[in-house]
Chains A and B, each alone.
Chain A
């Protein structure tokens, strides 16, 4: 596809619910998902029997030794629909990375095409007992044989390699990253369902944290949590009859690897190169340019991703994201900045994948952010994962 998205502003987010993001869930994930789904449907002014589409992305994002069980460690759309007592016409799951943006495109296309009228979109993240990442692998087969025997294991070393290349090339300092992480935690500390509610972080605390995978410390990765978020989508036409200001999907784009490399060998150049293509497609699809986006919400599951998104989407020049951040350019409390972490992100909420970015766009553009409500916000952007293994969605509250 090229050019303007044919369903531009024809599909809208019309309601939501979010469970607590917590380290101690105390009950099965499926129960939380059911409760959250019912709350989101009610929030949209609907009843469960009106929901005829279910869309999600069920991947369990750990690298440790964990089994997958529907309703316990993951919640698929099929599981959710069946346990709500429904028999919907359209049920799909997104497979792959960039789960939130990827699965959202399935929901949007379903409504635009008429495959479903009202879609329940959800993401349920499980926190498995025991070590989240530790792995006792003794034999490496398949894709893993090209990494683990050489000591290359897990996503964090992959990101640290790309981030160090950025630091070496552009002179980025740890102070700049401290500013970013503290901005995420500041905003997350104001969100009641955040795992970091009322727990902001100081630059001194960040700088005192030991590096575990240089130049990254523990605080550069989002904290694994258990939690569920649900959104309800319908057509712009149907949204007129519902209680809340609709937030329209203006366009979207995704990007995937084109180079043959070891599985997690995500290089800085590959991410930036893919980002150029994604960025071009996103602005063509949405009919907007970077300078017209009031509220970009950039994905920060690993903090260096924010630099990559800022630069690749054109919110600053190549190599300058760290300087922009260090000089207060993303501070949500200062006028005239680009508050890319105003929703707290994954670092400020816990590992809810791209949910915090999407939710902040919804809350601010629908005027439902409460005490955190920002003025003059009509366009937003939410992304997930990286430009070479994820996507971005543009939102607007003006359907014209």
Chain B
């Protein structure tokens, strides 16, 4: 945490509460439809795959690895609470084609990035009991 203004915290609702509860434990989950078993994020009132109005989403853990589809370096954020510059990455999660998540990359503004660069989820604790997903470059094995 820095001396900046507070970062915005997510306000869980009936649909999203299980996601943020898992995030607080540093576990990334996706919303899995009870009818067709496909996953999505964010959870919606219907399933975007089978369009049931009773998706009864279960939030299933994923390992949070993926590859960078694209990125941007934010040198001037329009939102209070972030120290500039920082990197946003758009990550396609392994095993879930087209399931993409935009979050911060925690390796600094000069991190070497290309389309396809491997990353893994890491959580930022932004308030007591509140953590949000971010990414870090995957270490070479």
Chain B residues in 8 Å Cβ range of A169: 115
- Fill in one digit per residue for A144-179: 1 if any B CB lies within 8 Å of its CB, else 0: 111111111110110011101100110000000000
Please give the number of chain A residues whose Cβ is less than 8 angstroms from any Cβ of chain B in the complex. Answer: 46
**A-B contact count, CB below 8 Å?**
131
Q: Which of A134, A141, A144 contacts B78 (CB 8 A)?
A: A134
Least Cβ distance of B25 to chain A in Å?
Answer: 16
> What is the CA–CA distance of A208 and B74 in the complex, to the nearest angstrom?
18
Q: Which of A151, A168, A214, A268 has the most CB of B within 10 A?
A: A151
- Which single residue of chain A is at the shortest CB-CB distance from B48? A260
Query: Does any Cβ of A come within 8 Å of B141's Cβ?
Result: no
Is B88 touching A140 in the complex (CB atoms < 8 A)? no
Chain A residues in 8 Å Cβ range of B1: none
Is A210 touching B75 in the complex (CB atoms < 8 A)? yes
Query: Does any Cβ of A come within 8 Å of B10's Cβ?
Result: yes
> What is the CA–CA distance of A157 and B9 in the complex, to the nearest angstrom?
19
Least Cβ distance of B122 to chain A in Å?
Answer: 12
Is A150 touching B9 in the complex (CB atoms < 8 A)? no
Chain B residues in 8 Å Cβ range of A165: 69-70, 90, 115
Chain B residues in 8 Å Cβ range of A50: none
Least Cβ distance of B34 to chain A in Å?
Answer: 16
Q: Which of B5, B16, B82, B100 contacts A151 (CB 8 A)?
A: B82
Chain B residues in 8 Å Cβ range of A149: 7-10, 126, 132
> What is the CA–CA distance of A165 and B88 in the complex, to the nearest angstrom?
13
Least Cβ distance of A217 to chain B in Å?
Answer: 10
Contact of A136 with B7 at beta-carbon distance under 8 Å, contacts A149-B126, A161-B71, A165-B69 already known: no
Is A139 touching B88 in the complex (CB atoms < 8 A)? no
- Which single residue of chain A is at the shortest CB-CB distance from B11? A141
> What is the CA–CA distance of A259 and B92 in the complex, to the nearest angstrom?
14
Q: Which of A139, A152, A154 contacts B102 (CB 8 A)?
A: A152
Query: Does any Cβ of A come within 8 Å of B6's Cβ?
Result: yes
Is A153 touching B78 in the complex (CB atoms < 8 A)? yes
Q: Which of B12, B71, B79 contacts A148 (CB 8 A)?
A: B79
Query: Does any Cβ of A come within 8 Å of B29's Cβ?
Result: no
Contact of A152 with B103 at beta-carbon distance under 8 Å, contacts A145-B16, A267-B90 already known: yes
> What is the CA–CA distance of A213 and B73 in the complex, to the nearest angstrom?
6
Q: Which of A151, A212, A213 contacts B103 (CB 8 A)?
A: A151
Chain B residues in 8 Å Cβ range of A162: 70
Query: Does any Cβ of A come within 8 Å of B137's Cβ?
Result: no
- Which single residue of chain B is at the shortest CB-CB distance from A166? B70
Q: Which of A135, A149, A153, A212 has the most CB of B within 10 A?
A: A149
Chain A residues in 8 Å Cβ range of B102: 147, 150, 152, 161, 262, 265
Q: What are 21 A-B interface contacts by the 8 Å CB criterion?
A: A135-B79, A137-B8, A137-B80, A138-B9, A138-B81, A140-B11, A141-B10, A145-B11, A145-B16, A146-B42, A149-B8, A150-B132, A151-B82, A152-B102, A154-B78, A211-B75, A212-B75, A213-B72, A213-B73, A214-B73, A265-B102
Given A149-B9, A151-B104, 15 new contacts (CB under 8 A): A138-B9, A141-B11, A141-B13, A143-B42, A148-B8, A149-B10, A150-B102, A151-B86, A161-B72, A164-B72, A165-B70, A165-B115, A212-B75, A213-B75, A260-B48
- 7 nearest A-B pairs in the assembled complex, by CB-CB distance: A260-B48, A165-B70, A141-B11, A160-B72, A145-B10, A153-B79, A212-B76
